[in-house]
Homo-oligomer: A and B are copies of this chain.
Amino acid sequence: MSSHRAPETAHRSRRAHRAILGATLELVHEVGYPRVTIEGVAARAGVGKQTIYRRWPSKAAILRDAVVSLTEDIARAGGAVRDTGDLEADLKAVLRSAVDTMTDPGYDVPARALVAAGIADPALGKELTARLVEPPLRLCLERLGSARGAGQIAQDVDPRIAVLMLAGPVAQHWLMGDGPLTHEYTDALVDLALRGLAPR
Contact = CB atoms under 8 A, between A and B. Distances in A.
Interface residues of A, number: 45
Interface stretch (A19-27, A83-91, A123-131): A123-131
Nearest to A188: B161
Nearest to A195: B196
A61 interface: no
A139 interface: no
Interface in A141-186: 157-158, 161-162, 164-165, 167-173, 175-179, 185
A36 to B, nearest CB: 12
A8 interface: no
Each complex incorporates copies of this chain amounting to: 2
Nearest to A112: B119
Contacts of A173: 164, 168
A167 B158 contact: no
A162 B119 contact: no
A122 interface: yes
Contacts of A194: 196
B175 A134 contact: no
Nearest to A34: B120
A105 B90 CA distance: 40
A40 B22 CA distance: 40
B158 A188 contact: yes
Contacts of A119: 112, 115-116, 119, 175-176
A176 B118 contact: yes
A33 B134 CA distance: 28
A75 interface: no
